Structure 1
Amino acid sequence: MKNTKIKVGITHGDINGIGYEVIIKSLMDNRIFEICTPIIYGSPKVAAYHRKALNIDNFSLNNIKEAHEAHPKRANIINCVDENVKVELGKSSRSAGTSAFQSLEAAVADLKKGAIDVLITAPINKKNIQSKDFEFPGHTEYLESKLESGKSLMLLLSDKLRVGVVAGHVPIVDVPKKITKEAILEKLEILNTSLLKDFGIQRPKIAVLSLNPHAGDDGLIGMEEKEIINPALDEARKNSIMALGPFPADGFFGSDDYKKFDAILAMYHDQGLAPFKALAFDSGVNFTAGLSGIRTSPAHGTAYSIAGTNVASETSFREALYLAIDIHKNRDCFEEATKNPLKPAESVKNIQ
């Protein structure tokens, strides 16, 4: 019987962290197989090590060599790392970084050729994965390079809010140089398109945060709002993007104003992600908007401190899996509506 369900590729991330724990716990729910066919890019040997460390007996993986061999009612795994790789729970190691890259490289290759439909990435250690083949700050920049689909946007989501950032994985000292009118417009265009295509939201409303405290206090605490952000918002609105602001970040989140918007564009990483993770750490999902392929990940890291202790929550990973499937369906609906403009597309569940 041909498998027509969405094929979900899963990278195992850093093998010394909680990647396998959250993957296994998520796939232990057999209802997953009703909506997708999961394929882990990793190591059966490493998976067995984690399963034993977690004292999980009622779970097994179907070993395959190619994605087209995946069993539609099983959790599948493709071995793509050195069989002799050593697991050292809670530690950063060069071999863990190498195996994380090998998993990612194999999964992205299959995503590019259509062997899998969506990609879920387990957390990596951004330091130990660095090599001549991976000279990027993180997953987002690597995928942007490999999928060759133009610029992307790191978008954090939960059932409460969506937050993107203009300056992502850059040192804080370099943030002001990254905040330009062109950069803000670029991210707004990606975000607006994603809200339409990936989330089925008509006429999305976007809040844009200021760079300086109190939105610069009319130039008293910085001129970026007057000279850069406001002109960018004016041009965005001329391009039919409903972007409002700039709003001071502290009051914006403190007063619950974020609930009035479909998404928020922060100026830099911690300005947007600190309040996001305070509000939705366990259930948050990272989505790389703007790519030709669909990639999500849990919003947490490797969590070395609890690796192998069986206390990690799989909620964020499971939500990442569900979100990737929803976005895949929404894109299909959007494409159908584009081809048949008189036939309204039925949007999949939206985050309100």
Structure 2
Amino acid sequence: MNKEENIKVGITIGDPNGIGGEVILKAFEDSRMLEMFTPVVFASTKLLSYYVKTFNLKVKIHGITSLNDVVPGKLNVFRLIKEPFKVNWGEVSPEAGEIAVRSLEAATAALKNKDIDVLVTAPINKESIHSDKFKFPGHTDYLNQELEGESLMFMVSNELRVGLLTDHVPVKDVPASINAKVIKTKIGTIKESLKKDFGISRPKIAVLGINPHVGDNGVIGTEDQDTLIPALEQLREDGNIIFGPYAADSFFGNKKYKEFDAILASYHDQGLIPFKTIAFGSGVNFTAGLSHVRTSPDHGTGFDIAGKGEANPDSFIAAINYAIEIYRKRKEYDILNKNPLKKLSRKRR
């Protein structure tokens, strides 16, 4: 592995009472993973060793106390948590939440300091992490504060990409959270991400309505007619390839989503229910719009199966692969856009 290929992937432990540690270690049972990149898990060797023993996994971990000591070809574990912690599978606890937060904060600092190149986060429990010191509802909001740019929750898979106008917002607050500025900002973020992170030069984006049947001309709510439709018309006038708004109830069932590079949903469940129905297990949660790459598996902490050895690592592996691919796409995009001769050459092919 040469230096250029040696991408350092920072990995947070997530909630230690959930399936995060299990899927992380299962991902590295295949030693070929270590030939593709260099992982750094922000946790403790004692905690990871406990998972190895519990699930009888054939994984070797390499403990380090400094990020300068990262070794390619090893599953590096940065010894962040030194005090003892007793795992209580599937339980919500402030102690578990504190470990999840410390792992996230340390990994984010390493990302900003360029000690790692990309960040992959294991699932957290929102109740466990919430405290007087950490008041964010999840990863996305915290990273939006810590990193440059405007974050967008972007669920991606090989056949579907879904972004959200609003993410962790109560349903009753969704209409008031959507305005022309939010719509234009989110669509701009999706468009830029599709170009920079996925190599799509002229993205086609579909937008789902806010209300059932896009409000039926005001019969079922006026937000679509008053806010969403005028904003989309303005975006089209500005040269964006935007379609909709579409009624969400039939959009996915009739395979309409296959015609577009991405779909923008108005709220969390409108986008994530169909996404997880279609792509669960292979999908990835990507935080688009930020200065650094962060991905996560498309599932939660799995408290119902925690400790049983049943967790599937496929989505976590997909999250790592997407993080590396997006990192490389961004590098390529930057090179092509900084060098006009290469850009011209690409257009002539």
TM-score by length of 1: 0.95
Q: Note closer, same or farther for the CA distance 1:346–1:27 as it changes in structure 2 (3 Å cut).
A: farther
Q: Which amino acid letter does the alignment assign opposite residue 258 of structure 1?
A: Y
> What does the per-residue CA deviation read over 1:307-328, in whole Å, with 9 as the maximum and x for residues that have no partner?
1111111000000000000000
- State the number of aligned residues: 345
Residue equivalent to 1:350:
none
Is the CA contact (8 Å cut-off) linking 2:293 and 2:323 kept in structure 1? yes
Cα deviation digits, residues 152-181 of structure 1 (max 9, x gap): 100001111000111110111111101111
Aligned partner of 2:110: which letter?
D
- Cα shift readout 1:30-67 (whole Å, capped 9, x = no counterpart): 221222100000111111111111122x2111111222
Match for residue 142 of structure 2? 142
In the TM superposition, what is the alpha-carbon distance from 1:344 to its structure 2 partner?
A: 4.2
**SS state at 1:254 partner:** coil
Q: How does 1:14-25 map to 2 (within 5 A)?
A: 14-25=15-26
Q: 1:221 Cα shift?
A: 1.4
1:224-246 per-residue CA deviation (whole Å, 9 max, x = no partner) reads: 22111111111222333211100
Q: Where in structure 1 do 4 or more consecutive aligned residues deviate above 4 Å?
A: 344-347
- CA offsets 1:2-55 (integer angstroms, 9 cap, x no match): 744100000000000000110001112122122210000011111111111112
* 1:223-302 alignment, distance < 5 Å: 223-302=222-301
Shift of 1:346: 11
1:1-352 correspondence runs (5 A): 3-4=3-4, 5-56=6-57, 58-147=58-147, 149-344=148-343
Cα displacement (A) at 1:284: 1.1
User: Following the alignment from structure 1 to structure 2, what is the Cα–Cα distance between the partners of residues 234 and 273?
Assistant: 26
Secondary structure, counterpart of 2:285 in structure 1 = strand
Shift of 1:184: 0.8
**Mean CA deviation greater in 265-274 or 68-77:** 68-77
1:176 counterpart SS class:
helix
What is the identity, as a one-letter code, of the residue corresponding to 2:42?
Answer: Y
Counterpart amino acid of 2:76? N
The CA deviation at 1:82 is 3.6
Question: Take 1:293 and 1:307, find their aligned partners in 2: how far apart are those partners?
Answer: 30
Q: Output the amino acid matched with 1:115.
A: D
* TM-score when normalising by structure 2: 0.96
Whether the aligned pair in 1 keeps the contact of 2:9 and 2:37 (CA below 8 Å) is yes
RMSD: 1.6
Question: Distance between the aligned counterparts of 2:28 and 2:128, measured in 1?
Answer: 27
Counterpart-to-counterpart distance in 2, 1:344 and 1:252: 36
SS in 2 for 1:156: strand
Give me the identity figure in percent: 50
Q: Distance in 1 between matches of 2:253 and 2:90?
A: 36
- Give CA deviations for 1:193-246 in whole Å, capped at 9, x if unaligned: 000001111100000000111111122212222111111111222333211100
Maintained 8 Å contact 1:333/1:345: no
Change (3 A) 1:345 1:173: farther
CA distance in 2, matches of 1:346, 1:155: 31
Structure 1: any 5+ residue segments left out of the alignment?
A: 348-352
Quote the offset at 1:265 in angstroms: 0.2
Secondary structure class of the residue paired with 2:200? coil
- 2:150 is paired with a residue whose SS is coil
Name the CA distance, whole Å, in 2 between partners of 1:277 and 1:203. 26
Structure 1: which amino acid aligns with 2:41?
I
Query: C-alpha separation between the residues in 2 aligned to 1:132 and 1:111?
Result: 24
Separation in 2, partners of 1:67, 1:303:
30
Q: Distance in 1 between matches of 2:49 and 2:186?
A: 42
| Stretch of structure 1 that moved more, 60-69 or 89-98 | 60-69
Please give the alpha-carbon distance, in whole angstroms, between the structure 1 residues aligned to 2:344 and 2:71.
Answer: 31
Provide the C-alpha distance between the structure 1 equivalents of 2:275 and 2:344, rounded to a whole number of angstroms. 31
- Unaligned 5+ segments in structure 2 are none
Deviates more, 1:108-117 or 1:27-36: 27-36
Mapped contact 2:194–2:203 kept (Cα < 8 A):
yes
**Counterpart residue type for residue 256 of structure 1:** K
Q: Which amino acid aligns with 1:177?
A: A
